[in-house]
Structure 1
Amino acid sequence: MSHQQLRVLQVMRAPVGGLFRHVADLTRELASRGHAVGLIVDSIANDGQTEAKLADLASSASLGIHRVAMPRLLGQGDLLAPMAVRRLCRQLHIDIVHGHGAKGGFYARLARLSGTKAAAFYTPHGGVLHYSAQSATGRIFHFLERALMRQTAAVIFESQYAKATYARVIGEPTCPSPVIYNGLTPEEFEPVTADGDAADFVFVGELRALKGIFPLVEAMDGLVRPDGQPATLVVAGDGGERGAMEAAIATRGLGDRIHLVGAQPARAMFARGRVALVPSLAESLPYVVLEAAAAKLPVIATNVGGIGEIFGPTASDLVPAGDADALRAKMQTTLAHPDVAAASMRQRLEHISEHFSVGRMTDAIEAQYLAAIPTS
């Protein structure tokens, strides 16, 4: 723990998904170490679930949770939001302003450009990398990334994959650019025991094509247990393509083997399946892989994004994205040889325990913050 108390402002647009999970974990851990932390979020993102998450975080945000209009697309609000960030930096005597995602990163660094003395940090979380260089918006975002590099104390990447992608799409950062993995809390490393009627497999995630839901349905067709009974799958999640997934399930006659239960907490769902599936077509560093592995579930996942970094010494277990036959073969092998899957799970768990804890993550980020603050 540092003896120097910092005043930190975290900036993000929408407090949802893995980005918000990361910010929330970092905020709580920094606060527990004696630092004062505040948040800036979009004033429009105010549905009930978001409000509940922010309310739960309020006790760790001693500098407050502040609302600023942050348009999803480029617009006039992008000229006003950095001024609001700068004003809060001055009012709250901020040492560190840390932007998360494309918009949060721009606002944090534009605030510094317009006069705040706070050191500006930036974690992309994929954000700007999702914009094609062929689109007008993408070209503007990529130009701004390069132009704001001089205002950046460090670009912190959550995976080697994200860092390599940024270098390819934007260019090599000219400031420090450490890779600091997201982390799990000690409670998340407690094992989950499968229910007596647990399905063979469990999927937790958004129901959209990018998450590999259609190759997953195809892979379930013809999949059998060693006793000859059809394999079963429970699916937790919602999304715009739920209807299309239900239609694909019906077309293959798999309605009695694939059960959709809607959005549910990941850890609760891990008790309802014996093997976790992450068949994504694209990812950065998905928390669900970390969470399932930490809960001591075997995990079958695709070789995309930073998943190989999570799998570490078991990365050879990953399957090609979008290949239903390869996915089915891996699932069939796992059903036939649960002892082999369990051995891989233990090896993977040891790797994750060492490299993906909240304490380790915060140690590394805190060290970056302190290095940017002049000592007197």
Structure 2
Amino acid sequence: MKRLLYLITGLDYAGAENQVIQLCRGFRNKGYTVQLVSMLKPAAYLDELAELGVEVKTLDMNKGVPDPRKIFLLKRMIQAFKPDIVHSHMVHANLIARITRLFVKMPLLICTAHNINEGGKLREFMYRITDPLCDLTTNVSQEAVNRYIAIKAAPEHKIVFMPNGINLTKFSSNDSDYAAIRAELGYADEFIWLAVGRFVPEKDYLNMVTAFSEIRMEFGSCKLLIAGVGPERAAVESLCRQLRVAEHVRFLGIRTDIPRLMNAVDAYLMSSKWEGLPMVLLEAAASELPIVATDVGGNKEVVIDHLNGYLAAAADTENLVHNMRKLMLHSVPERKSMGAKGRAHVIKHYDIDAIINGWSKIYEKTGN
């Protein structure tokens, strides 16, 4: 029975964390003994991991506060667990895993980046100089892999594309829920856009709300729902008031019923300045929602322009408005056809069972 340790920067309700939970489930089902270590104190998924039989430990670090002593705490955890494979996720975990390998045996270390931009020149330099300490780097979009090679964050022979996967039974279109969920939300026939994600600068919600305010002037009966929390929420709410769309933009906070929400809306909207391969786009496509998203990172690998949605230039409000307008002018059957094509694309390329099998092959091949 192989022993697999996942190391992650933090454990919260977000895309990379969601993917790691799915990997934990997949490899527990394959008979692996799995342990998860979070650098920050975990804030989500603890009950789910306990049910899976995954032990969760934490380095109990404070966000934004480097603490070299935690390298030796991680060393002791690895010595106690004796993993056959250490698989780190996100930049801070990737770097601490590599440095810790100087002090403890790791038969196999794989590092996964989840974004095309992980924080500037210093982090890119740190990736470059610590690369000899890992066996393989992966990224969740081909666009990001190409960029990492170009900036020499990883050599071409030591980085591969491995996408996120999605549980297709959890996300699917369910028309019978449409009216019921809308009634719960207090809506009837309005065109509803949905956005899900943290209120942080890279998501560019200020641009999204500005674009929505222009769309409202053309299509009076439309709403925008945003699910998530984060430091920029107050600024986005303030802009909604300034643009006089506050009563048409609804802030939902953290939601654990995203699959149900996706069955109650008409389209998905993303305005990010940069991305890796967003789980939420896979979820929206699997739910047969037509999508308007910015053309950043791996978005174009999920949203095939003019097939299951439209791609807009990042930080370009007018272009975002243009693409939102195009989608809203489609008839309901046309939008449903786009959504069906999006789900077919996800089934073909992002089924979590296929992704788990892909990781199995990487673990076995790289470990030999």
Question: In which range does the TM-score fall when normalised by the shorter chain?
Answer: 0.7 to 0.9
TM-score of the superposed pair, with normalisation by structure 2: 0.87
**Which runs of 5 or more structure 2 residues have no equivalent in the other structure?**
none
Following superposition, the deviation at residue 295 of structure 1 comes to 0.9
Q: How many angstroms apart in 2 are the aligned matches of 1:143 and 1:244?
A: 33
Following superposition, the deviation at residue 18 of structure 1 comes to 1.6
* Superposition RMSD in Å: 2.5
Q: How many angstroms apart in 2 are the aligned matches of 1:131 and 1:83?
A: 25
Q: How many angstroms apart in 2 are the aligned matches of 1:213 and 1:88?
A: 39
The residue matched to 2:169 in structure 1 has which SS?
helix
Change (3 A) 1:149 1:320: same
Following superposition, the deviation at residue 188 of structure 1 comes to 2.6
Q: Which residue of 1 aligns with 2:205?
A: 213
- Correspondence 1:158 to 2:158: no
Q: How many angstroms apart in 1 are the aligned matches of 2:308 and 2:70?
A: 42
Q: Which residue of 2 aligns with 1:112?
A: 101
Say whether the 8 Å CA contact 1:224–1:332 is kept in structure 2.
Answer: no
Change (3 A) 1:174 1:150: farther
Say whether the 8 Å CA contact 1:185–1:357 is kept in structure 2.
Answer: yes
Change (3 A) 1:41 1:316: closer
- Correspondence 1:335 to 2:335: no
- Correspondence 1:180 to 2:162: yes
Match of 1:371 among 350, 358, 365: 365
Following superposition, the deviation at residue 112 of structure 1 comes to 2.7
The residue matched to 2:360 in structure 1 has which SS?
helix
Q: How many angstroms apart in 1 are the aligned matches of 2:18 and 2:294?
A: 22
Q: Which residue of 2 aligns with 1:132?
A: 120
Following superposition, the deviation at residue 71 of structure 1 comes to 5.0
Say whether the 8 Å CA contact 2:98–2:133 is kept in structure 1.
Answer: yes
Q: Which residue of 1 aligns with 2:7?
A: 11
Aligned residue runs from structure 1 range 47-196, under 5 A: 50=43, 52-62=44-54, 64-73=55-64, 75=66, 77-78=67-68, 80-126=69-115, 129-133=117-121, 138=122, 141-173=123-155, 175-193=157-175, 194-195=178-179, 196=182
**Which runs of 5 or more structure 1 residues have no equivalent in the other structure?**
none
Q: Structure 1: which amino acid aligns with 2:355?
A: M
Say whether the 8 Å CA contact 1:152–1:175 is kept in structure 2.
Answer: no
Change (3 A) 1:209 1:89: closer
Q: Which residue of 2 aligns with 1:345?
A: 339
Change (3 A) 1:206 1:89: closer
Identity %: 22
Change (3 A) 1:260 1:272: farther
Q: How many angstroms apart in 2 are the aligned matches of 1:233 and 1:243?
A: 16
Change (3 A) 1:316 1:239: closer
Q: How many angstroms apart in 2 are the aligned matches of 1:255 and 1:100?
A: 37
Deviations 1:224-255 (A, max 9, x none): 699x6432222222322222222222222223
Change (3 A) 1:92 1:290: same
Say whether the 8 Å CA contact 1:10–1:37 is kept in structure 2.
Answer: yes
Say whether the 8 Å CA contact 1:225–1:332 is kept in structure 2.
Answer: no
How many equivalent residue pairs? Answer: 354
